[in-house]
Chains A and B, each alone.
Chain A
Amino acid sequence: MRVNTSEVKSISSPTLSTTAAWWRRLQARLTRLLDDARFFPLLLILPVLLFFLIWNVIPTLWLIGLSFYKYSLISSAAERYVGLRNFTDIMKDVRVWESLSRTFIWVSVSITIQTILGGMLGFLFWGSAKMPGRRIALTLLFTPMIITPLAAGVFFRFIYEPTFGIANYVVRLFGGEANFLGDAKLAFGAVMFVDIWMWTPFMILITLAALGSVPKAELEAAEIDRLPWSYRLRYIILPHARYVLMLGILLRTIDSFKTLDLIYILTRGGPGATTELIAVMLRRKAFEAFELGWSSALAIILLLTAIAFTSIYIYILNQNSKRQGVTS
C-alpha cells in the first residue's frame, strides 16, 4: 500500500523532485517492478488478501477449532476436547429445532408478504416518472430500509408501547387492549409487521428495477396489439423481469434468515421464546450463557447455510449476466 501511494506522488510530480540520484534509481527499479506483468497484479490484490487472511481466515479457523471443544467463558473449568459432541448436541436440542422452524416461518411468511406487496406497489410506481416531487416521495418511501434497524426497533417500541403508544390507542378506540410486544400471542406478528414495513420498500425498488429491464419496444408492440394485461405480464414482463426479481427475493431471504438487531431491541427474543429466531438464539447462547463451543458449532451450521444460499444467488446472477451478454 505505502509503496503505491508514494509512487503516485512521485510520478505525478516528477519535475518537483529534488531527490538524490540513488532515490531516482530506486524509483526506476520500482517502476520497472510495477510494470512487470506478473508482479503488478499480485501487488494489486495483496491488500485484499491480507484483509481476507486476518479478518476472515483466522476467525473462521478459530471458529472451527472452538466447535470441537466444550468451552465456556464463565466456568473456570478448562476447555475440553469433545469431538463432534457439540454438533450432535445441537441436533438433539429441541429448542434449536423450534427456533429453526420459527425462523423458517419468519422467513417464508415475511418474504411472501413483502414480495407480493412490494410487487404490487412497484407496479403502481411504474410510470411515475412525471410525478411532481418524485425524488422526495421516493426518499420517504425508501427511508425504512436505510435507517438502522436499531432506530426502526426504537420507533416501534414507541408505537407499540402499551400505555401511551399509538398502536394501543387505536386498539382502544375499538374497545380492546393490546400489549403487542409483551403478549406471547401477538409478539411474533408485531415484530414481523416491523420487518415487513422495513423491507417492502426494498421489494418495491427491486420491482421497479425489474420492470425497467423490460425492453420498451416489446411493451409498445403489446400496447399496439392491445394484448390483455395478463398476457403482457406472462409473456413480456415476467420473462425479462424474472431474474432481477429472483435476485431480490434471494437477497431478502438471506438477509431475513439472519435478522437480529431488530428483534434484539424489540423483544430480545421474548416473551418466552416466541420471537427467538436462530440468530437471536445464537447471540443469547454465546453472549449471555457464554457457551462458546456450542455456539461455534451452531455458527458453523449457519455459515454453511449462508454459503449455500449465496452460491444459489451467484448462480442466478451468472445466468442473468450470460443472458444479458447474449441479448445486448
Chain B
Amino acid sequence: MNRRRRRQTLYHIVLWVVALIFFAPVLWIIINSFKTTSGILSTPPQFIFKPTLENYPDLFARQNVTKYFTNSIILSSTSVLIALVVSYLAAYCFSRYKPRGTNFLMFLLLSIRMVPAAAVVIPVYLMYVAFGWKDTFFGMTMFYAMFSIPFSVWILKGFIDGVSPRYDETALVNGGSRLHILFRVILPQVAPGLVAAFIFNLIFVWNEFLFNLFIGGRTTTMIPVMFATYLYNDGGWDWPFVTTLTTVYMLVPIVAVFVFQKYLLTGMTFGTVRGEV
C-alpha cells in the first residue's frame, strides 16, 4: 500500500514538472517584470534579485497603454456579444429547421476560420479603405464579430442539437410563441454553450493581431499591435515595459482558462470536438 502511494506521489510530481516546463518561459517573463532595467539586461541573467514593483505603475503611466487596454476590452467584448446573438439565431435555425444547404453553410463558415489571415486581409483592407471603415470602432467590431461567428455557430448548434425538440413542441402546443421558445425555453438550456463560445472567442479576439494592424489604426489599436510596433526604444527593445505589458495582458486568457477549464477542448477545436479533459 505504502509503495503504491509513493509511486502515485512520484507520478504526480512528474506531471507537475511537465506542466512547469511548459510554463517556464512564461514564468521567466513574469519574474523579469519584477526586475529593474539593469537587472533585466545583466549578463549572466540574474536568478536571485530583489524584486521591485516599480515597472507596474510605470506601465500605466505610459501614454496610450490604458487607451489600448480599453480598446482591447471594448472591441473584444462587444464584437463577441454581437456574434453570439447572430450565431444563436442561426444555430437555432440550422438545428431545428435544417434549411436546404445547412451543411454547406456550416462548411463555409468553418472554412472562413481556416483560411490564412494574410490572404483575407488584402481585400478586407481595400474594402475598408473604400468604405471609410478603416480605423473605426464600427469596422473593427463588425469584423471581429464576423471572425467569431463561425465558431459560435458550430458550438451553439452542437448544444442546441443536444436539447430535445420535444421542448419546442411542448411549448408550442401550450401556446408559447416562437420567440418565447427561442429565448425562454431553449436559451437557458444552452447557457454553457454560450459561455464557452463567449470565452473562447473573447480569447481569440483578445489575441488577434494581423487585422488590427492593417484595418485598425490609431484609435482602434489593441495591445498585440503595440508589441509589434511601438516597443522600440532607442534602437533596442524597452524590456521592463515589454515584460510588464505581456504579464498584464496574458492574465486575462490565463484566468479565463483556469475558470472555464471544462470548455477548453470545445474552445480550442472551434466547437468541433466535444468533451472534457
Interface residues of A (CB under 8 A from B): 1, 4, 7-8, 11-12, 31, 34-35, 40-41, 43-45, 47-48, 51-52, 54-56, 58-60, 62-63, 66, 121, 124-125, 128, 130-133, 135-159, 163-166, 169, 172, 197, 200-202, 205-206, 208-209, 212-213, 244, 247-248, 251, 254, 257-258, 260-261, 264-265, 278-280, 282-283, 286-287, 292, 295-296, 298-300, 302-303, 306-307, 309-311, 313-314, 317
Residue of A at shortest CB range from B18? A121
Residues in B neighbouring A206, C-beta threshold 8 A: 265, 269, 273
| Alpha-carbon separation in the docked complex, A294 to B224 (Å) | 28
Contacts A137-B19, A155-B246, A208-B277 given: A147-B237 contact, CB under 8 Å? no
Measured CB to CB, the closest approach of chain A to B78, in angstroms, equals: 14
Residue from the list B123, B178, B214, B250 in contact with A63, Cβ < 8 A: B123
Residues in B neighbouring A257, C-beta threshold 8 A: 116
Residues in A neighbouring B246, C-beta threshold 8 A: 151, 154-155
A156, A165, A208: residue with the most chain B Cβ atoms closer than 10 Å: A208
Measured CB to CB, the closest approach of chain A to B270, in angstroms, equals: 8
Q: Is the CB of A51 within 8 A of B114?
A: no
Residues in B neighbouring A7, C-beta threshold 8 A: 179
| Alpha-carbon separation in the docked complex, A145 to B256 (Å) | 13
Residue of A at shortest CB range from B47? A166
Residues in A neighbouring B177, C-beta threshold 8 A: 11, 31, 34-35
| Alpha-carbon separation in the docked complex, A137 to B21 (Å) | 11
For residue B49, CB closer than 8 A to chain A, the reply is no
| Alpha-carbon separation in the docked complex, A135 to B207 (Å) | 23
| Alpha-carbon separation in the docked complex, A131 to B11 (Å) | 9
Within B197-232, the residues touching A (CB, 8 Å) are 203, 206-210, 214, 224, 227-228
Q: Is the CB of A158 within 8 A of B32?
A: yes
Identify the stretch in B52-60, B62-70, B140-148 within 8 Å (CB) of chain A at 4 or more residues.
B140-148
Residues in A neighbouring B149, C-beta threshold 8 A: 48, 51
Residues in A neighbouring B107, C-beta threshold 8 A: 310-311, 314
Q: Is the CB of B122 within 8 A of A286?
A: yes
Residue from the list A139, A264, A286 in contact with B254, Cβ < 8 A: A139
Contacts A164-B40, A164-B42, A311-B107 given: A148-B268 contact, CB under 8 Å? no
Contacts A55-B146, A248-B273 given: A209-B206 contact, CB under 8 Å? no
Q: Is the CB of B14 within 8 A of A139?
A: no
Q: Is the CB of A138 within 8 A of B86?
A: no
| Alpha-carbon separation in the docked complex, A56 to B40 (Å) | 46
Q: Is the CB of A260 within 8 A of B14?
A: no
Interface 0/1 of B8-25, CB less than 8 Å to A = 100110111011101101
For residue B1, CB closer than 8 A to chain A, the reply is no
| Alpha-carbon separation in the docked complex, A317 to B274 (Å) | 11
For residue B112, CB closer than 8 A to chain A, the reply is yes
| Alpha-carbon separation in the docked complex, A121 to B20 (Å) | 13
For residue B180, CB closer than 8 A to chain A, the reply is yes
Measured CB to CB, the closest approach of chain A to B173, in angstroms, equals: 13
Measured CB to CB, the closest approach of chain A to B133, in angstroms, equals: 10
Q: Is the CB of A197 within 8 A of B243?
A: no
Residues in A neighbouring B159, C-beta threshold 8 A: none
Residue of B at shortest CB range from A243? B273
Contacts A149-B207, A151-B249, A164-B42 given: A286-B90 contact, CB under 8 Å? no
Measured CB to CB, the closest approach of chain A to B139, in angstroms, equals: 10
Measured CB to CB, the closest approach of chain A to B109, in angstroms, equals: 8
Q: Is the CB of A141 within 8 A of B23?
A: yes
For residue B61, CB closer than 8 A to chain A, the reply is no
Q: Is the CB of A66 within 8 A of B123?
A: yes
| Alpha-carbon separation in the docked complex, A295 to B261 (Å) | 40
Measured CB to CB, the closest approach of chain A to B40, in angstroms, equals: 7
Contacts A139-B257, A140-B22, A205-B268 given: A296-B40 contact, CB under 8 Å? no
B90, B122, B124, B145: residue with the most chain A Cβ atoms closer than 10 Å: B122
Additional A-B contact list (20), CB under 8 Å, known A137-B19, A141-B18, A309-B114 = A47-B86, A48-B89, A48-B149, A54-B142, A55-B146, A59-B127, A63-B119, A142-B257, A147-B254, A155-B29, A157-B237, A158-B242, A159-B25, A213-B275, A258-B115, A260-B116, A264-B209, A282-B116, A299-B123, A310-B110
Measured CB to CB, the closest approach of chain A to B155, in angstroms, equals: 13
Q: Is the CB of B179 within 8 A of A56?
A: no
12 A-B Cβ contacts within 8 A?
A: A35-B177, A41-B99, A51-B86, A59-B120, A143-B23, A144-B22, A163-B43, A166-B45, A169-B45, A299-B122, A303-B116, A306-B119
Q: Is the CB of A124 within 8 A of B14?
A: yes
Q: Is the CB of B43 within 8 A of A169?
A: yes
| Alpha-carbon separation in the docked complex, A202 to B270 (Å) | 13
Contacts A41-B97, A147-B254 given: A209-B265 contact, CB under 8 Å? yes
Contacts A31-B177, A59-B123, A60-B123 given: A251-B118 contact, CB under 8 Å? no
A54, A247, A299: residue with the most chain B Cβ atoms closer than 10 Å: A299
For residue B73, CB closer than 8 A to chain A, the reply is no
| Alpha-carbon separation in the docked complex, A287 to B93 (Å) | 40
Q: Is the CB of B123 within 8 A of A62?
A: yes
| Alpha-carbon separation in the docked complex, A278 to B119 (Å) | 10
Measured CB to CB, the closest approach of chain B to A60, in angstroms, equals: 7
Residue of A at shortest CB range from B207? A148
Q: Is the CB of A151 within 8 A of B89?
A: no
Contacts A34-B177, A143-B22 given: A283-B118 contact, CB under 8 Å? yes
